[in-house]
Amino acid sequence: MKQRTKLIVGGVAAAAVLGAVGVAAAASRRDAEPDGDEDASDTPPPVAPELPDDIDVELPDVELPDFDDDEPPVVVQPPVVLPVPDEPPVVVQPPVVVQPPVVVQPPVVLPVPEDPPVVVPLPPLPPTPLPAPAPPPAVPADTAELVRALLSDEQRAGWKRISSAVKAWQKSRGLVQDGKFGPKSATRIALEIGTIPIVRFWPASAGANPQAALSDYRDGLLAIAKKVGGQHGELLKLSATREQGQSFGPPTGDSGKASILTRFPKGSTP
């Protein structure tokens, strides 16, 4: 390390001597240069002076600090001057218009209706036979016999009379056995047959208002007709129309027969 230091110092001294010699040579050249009016081409080129061989330059001893051979010399770098950037120009950005996103709706797939099932019509069912209508209840024999006798009496004089046949029928039905065919006996017999003879005797209370008594009796027959229906009911409606309260008048008419305004159709009497 010390040897390297000496070499560096010797080099510096030699450079100084050479510099002095160069300065002297330059001065002699200026003295030898002609003036401006003289022709420079006639002047010979300058010759460098010869240096004496016996120049003895004493090199000073410079004590430098010892450095470890392993450590490199410290090189002081000059400060780095960074360029100052120019201010960038102000750029005015245009307003940003945010467009809403375009939403693409998926296609709507409508369900395809299925073909309706083929309905094969079934053959019509054979008609169901209707049950045979129930035969009308059989008219009791004693009721049919009594009705035939009373209807026959209406065709003769003296039809309004007490009858032993009526008395016997009343006994079999649990009625008062007076032999008089009145509204109670007629209403009871209407439950068994639709053909009702003319009432022969009305109660004493009906004398005060015979029309009311007649109306109550006829309404009773119509109520039974609605209940039983059928031919029986139709005949009861006809019987209610026939009853006009004929027994309220004289016992007999001019001919001695009951005045009958409505007649039963043929085949309807027992």
Cα 68 from Cα 75, distance rounded (Å): 15
pTM metric for this prediction = 0.48
Q: Between 87 and 241, where is the model more confident?
A: 241
- CB within 8 Å of 169: residues ≥ 6 apart: 142, 143, 146, 185, 189
Instruction: Give the residue extent of every domain in the chain.
Output: 1-34+46-68, 141-248
Tell whether the model's pLDDT for residue 2 goes beyond 50.
no
* Tens digits of residue pLDDT in 233-262: 999 999 999 999 998 875 444 446 666 655
Cα 232 from Cα 238, distance rounded (Å): 10
- Residue 255 confidence (pLDDT): 47
Cα 93 from Cα 202, distance rounded (Å): 125
Average pLDDT over residues 88-116: 77
* Tens digits of residue pLDDT in 149-167: 999 999 888 899 999 999 9
Q: What share of the chain is helix, strand, coil (3-state, %, to 5)?
A: 40, 0, 60
* Tens digits of residue pLDDT in 60-80: 665 655 655 566 677 777 777
